[in-house]
Amino acid sequence: MTLNYYLAEHPTIVNFRWSPTQSYASTWSFLFTAVSSYIIAAVTLHLLLLIILSLCNRRRGFSLGPIPALHSLTISIISAVIFVGILLSAAAEIRDTRWLWRRTRTTALQWFLCFPVGTRASGRVFFWSYAFYLSRFLHLFRTFFSVIRRRKLSFFQLINQSSLLCISFLWLEYSQSFQVVAILLTTVSYAVVYGYRFWTEIGLRGACFPFVVNCQAILLGCMTVCHVGVLCIHLVKRGGCNGIGAWLFNSVLNAVITLLYLKFYCKTRSMMTKVQG
């Protein structure tokens, strides 16, 4: 009862409303500034380290001590809290609005994938969507860790992090359908993946297969199936789904991320095959 109250029934959660005047980091100008600053800072840091390391004749990057491990643990815990919070909140929303669904013949599964037209970004579910959006800023630090420790700046990482930040903003700005399922799938994946990263970063033995890569592949596969489900419901349901324009943009970004990831995945598998051979 206490857990349900603090994660789904607390007045702050129930009365939440996405608004440029009430919510931090909720304006387009902030989003554009954050994304551009992130890319510029990452590229600048990468170039500076290349110059410094070449002057010092140093091939390896710098150690960050326990910072990456603590970062992974923090994201794992936050992701687990968001997963439980949005799951309890979704159950509460279904309980409170089921009477309205009978008029429109909407099922719980349809609501998870397709919000009714006219849905506003307020209430329990959108509070946790906002928490997920803010948590995306923590993920950006992973790029800087990679640059400092491995002297590596991945184009895929820059595009992936920037796109996911924009997508989570669009979920709130346009009360986009599909976001409940997307957050549930993403947060449970992050809780596992970053928990595993914490496990390996403190020196414990990792899996004998590319655990993180496989988890990301499963997540992208599930997301693709859910996107198809949203499209089918939108075409069949009277009135369609809310925020379908933002969903189309979301789908394009996800397609780009998936293609880049498949390229990275094939490259990783090829390198592993050569090492084993």
Q: Cα–Cα distance between 128 and 163 in angstroms, integer?
A: 19
Would you state the pLDDT for residue 213? Answer: 80
pLDDT digits (tens, 9 = 90+) for 46-68: 999 888 877 877 777 788 889 99
Check: CB of residue 79 under 8 Å from CB of residue 135: yes
Would you state the pLDDT for residue 150? Answer: 74
Beta bridge partners of 155: none
pLDDT band at 277, cuts 50/70/90? low
pLDDT mean across residues, the chain: 87
How far from chain centre, in Å, is Cα 162?
A: 11
Mean pLDDT of 222-234: 88
Half-sphere exposure at residue 55, Cβ-oriented, CA atoms within 13 angstroms: 6
pLDDT digits (tens, 9 = 90+) for 165-223: 999 999 999 999 899 999 999 999 999 999 999 999 988 887 777 788 888 888 988 88
Global pTM value: 0.91
Check: CB of residue 158 under 8 Å from CB of residue 143: yes
Would you state the pLDDT for residue 88? Answer: 95
Q: Cα–Cα distance between 208 and 90 in angstroms, integer?
A: 37
Q: Is the pLDDT of residue 84 over 90?
A: yes
CB atoms under 10 Å from CB of 237, counted, come to 17
Tokens of 108: 């719980």
Q: Cα–Cα distance between 264 and 122 in angstroms, integer?
A: 38
Would you state the pLDDT for residue 111? Answer: 83
Q: Cα–Cα distance between 248 and 275 in angstroms, integer?
A: 40
Q: Which of these ranges, 43-52, 216-225, 262-271, has the smallest mean pLDDT?
A: 262-271
Angle ∠(150,68,145) on CA atoms, nearest 5: 35
- Please state the φ and ψ torsions of residue 17, each to the nearest 5 degrees: -145, 125
CB atoms under 10 Å from CB of 220, counted, come to 18
Mean pLDDT of 75-98: 92
Q: Is the pLDDT of residue 269 over 70?
A: no
Check: CB of residue 198 under 8 Å from CB of residue 75: no
Q: Extract the runs of DSSP E, i.e. beta strands, from 74-157.
A: none
Q: Cα–Cα distance between 96 and 3 in angstroms, integer?
A: 19
Choice between 264 and 196, residue whose per-residue pLDDT is larger: 196
* Amino acid present at 72: S
Q: Is the pLDDT of residue 276 over 60?
A: no
- Please state the φ and ψ torsions of residue 206, each to the nearest 5 degrees: -90, 180
Half-sphere exposure at residue 193, Cβ-oriented, CA atoms within 13 angstroms: 19
Mean pLDDT of 27-41: 96
Q: Which of these ranges, 23-27, 202-206, 225-229, 241-245, has the smallest mean pLDDT?
A: 202-206
Beta bridge partners of 122: 17
pLDDT digits (tens, 9 = 90+) for 92-150: 988 887 756 666 667 777 888 888 888 889 999 999 999 999 999 999 999 999 998 87
Would you state the pLDDT for residue 102? Answer: 65
pLDDT digits (tens, 9 = 90+) for 12-33: 999 999 998 888 999 999 999 9
